[in-house]
């Protein structure tokens, strides 16, 4: 019922999370009636995100420069490292506007259920950074979930032999939530009131 190219665009939009047929049709027709410039800008933005955006080779945050803007910012405290699961957690903490250290993105969390082990994450790169970059404190800001806790515990064990303070943000974060979804105030409080990470029997 549509010209083939409109039908194709509708199908593409329909594959987006949360987009049904009606919305997909509205989006396709919006593009159809918009200026050619606007459509080209959108198409180029999509191409750029796939071609130019990649993980930072230092912290594994997503970036189109390498190192990323955070790693290369000399005004930030290079001795303080906040460890998070995903790039979106970096964005959540950055939105708070209080944290002035640097980050390390694990690209996941240890999960027996999903078959994600320590080796699938960027933990060995993290240990190398702690050794090489003179890090004095590692803040474990993995999610307040079983996976986040397991990951934090594993990292704290790996860091035990190193001369570095290890702390964990936790207080006030609802169990099972994610760093990305908690409010700014709760996240700020959790970061402010971080506590030294103690291993069982350590
Ligand atoms: Zn970086």
Q: How far is the CA of 97 from the centre of ligand 1 (A)?
A: 17
Q: Write down the pLDDT at residue 202.
A: 39
CATH level 3 topology of 4-52:
Helicase, Ruva Protein; domain 3 (1.10.8)
Q: Which pLDDT tens digit goes with each residue over 139-171?
A: 999 988 889 999 999 999 999 989 999 999 865
- DSSP code per residue over 35-72: -HHHHHHHHHHHHHHHHT-EE-TTT--EESSSS-TTTT
How far CA 174 is from CA of 67, 88, 89, 179, 191, in Å, comes to: 33, 18, 16, 10, 14
Q: How far is the CA of 198 from the centre of ligand 1 (A)?
A: 28
Domain with CATH 3.40.1360.10 in the chain: 62-196
Q: How far is the CA of 105 from the centre of ligand 1 (A)?
A: 9
Domain with CATH 1.10.8.420 in the chain: 4-52
Q: How far is the CA of 201 from the centre of ligand 1 (A)?
A: 34
Q: How far is the CA of 39 from the centre of ligand 1 (A)?
A: 31
Full-model pTM: 0.77
Q: Which pLDDT tens digit goes with each residue over 50-69?
A: 899 999 999 999 999 999 99
Task: Answer yes or no: is pLDDT of 178 > 80.
Answer: no
Q: How far is the CA of 188 from the centre of ligand 1 (A)?
A: 22
* Residue whose token pair is 């207080």: 171
Which residues 6+ apart lie within 8 Å of 158 measured at CB? Answer: 123, 127
Q: How far is the CA of 181 from the centre of ligand 1 (A)?
A: 22
CATH value of 62-196 in 1.10.3720.10, 3.30.300.30, 3.90.850.10, 3.40.1360.10:
3.40.1360.10
Instruction: From 94, 81, 89, 131, select the one nearest 108 (Cα to Cα).
Output: 89
């Amino acid at each position: 019922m549509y010209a083939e190219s409109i039908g194709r665009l509708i199908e593409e939009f329909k594959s987006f999370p949360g987009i049904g047929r009606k919305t997909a049709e509205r989006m396709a027709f919006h593009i159809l009636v918009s200026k050619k410039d606007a459509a080209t800008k959108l198409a180029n933005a999509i191409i750029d995100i796939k071609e130019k955006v990649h993980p930072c080779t230092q912290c594994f945050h997503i970036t189109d420069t390498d190192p990323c803007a955070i790693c290369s910012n000399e005004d930030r405290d290079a001795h303080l490292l906040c460890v998070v699961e995903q790039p979106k957690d970096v964005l959540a903490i950055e939105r708070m506007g209080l944290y002035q250290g640097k980050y390390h993105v694990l690209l996941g969390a240890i999960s027996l259920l999903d078959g994600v082990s320590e080796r699938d994450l960027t933990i060995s790169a993290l240990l190398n950074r702690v050794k090489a970059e003179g890090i004095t404190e590692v803040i474990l800001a993995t999610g307040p979930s079983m996976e986040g806790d397991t990951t934090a515990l594993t990292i704290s064990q790996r860091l035990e032999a190193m001369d570095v303070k290890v702390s964990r943000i936790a207080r006030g974060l609802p169990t099972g939530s994610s760093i990305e979804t908690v409010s700014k105030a709760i996240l700020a409080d959790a970061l402010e009131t971080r506590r030294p990470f103690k291993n069982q029997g350590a």
